[in-house]
Structure 1
Amino acid sequence: MPGFPFERRSPSFDLAELIGRKTEDARQRCERDGFQVQVFDLDRHPAVTLEYNPNRIRLTTRRGVVEDCRQG
């Protein structure tokens, strides 16, 4: 997309590998790969923003464990 400030790149690992991992372990894995990380803790009723950022991985967690993750 012309003029879009971010290029989409894929992580060097399958995001499904993060499911079931502790939140901090998953965060560190994403950051080592050069991604920004946003954590949504379902125990705290998070608000979700709608802007798209391909350099971000969103982790949805409950009780300190990743339940879902998405790029963007």
Structure 2
Amino acid sequence: MTEREIIRLACTLARPLRPIDVATHLNINHRTAVRTLQVLCAKGWFSPIAGAVGTHVVRYELGRSAMQRL
């Protein structure tokens, strides 16, 4: 259910998600949001986007396969 809501949030924002977006929207801990986004990346529904330096993932982009999940 959480994963489905994150996909919906990504569709409504129409931009790559940040963990803080998920944490605020679902009222969950930041670390829990990051963990859930990592699980969605492992499933292939999101792809991670690194920051300016390229060492940390700061955003997650919705993949095409996730749209079919809804």
TM range (shorter): 0.3 to 0.5
The TM-score, its normalising length taken from structure 2, stands at 0.33
Q: Which has the higher strand share?
A: 1
Q: Which has the higher helix share?
A: 2
Larger Rg belongs to = 1
The TM-score, its normalising length taken from structure 1, stands at 0.33
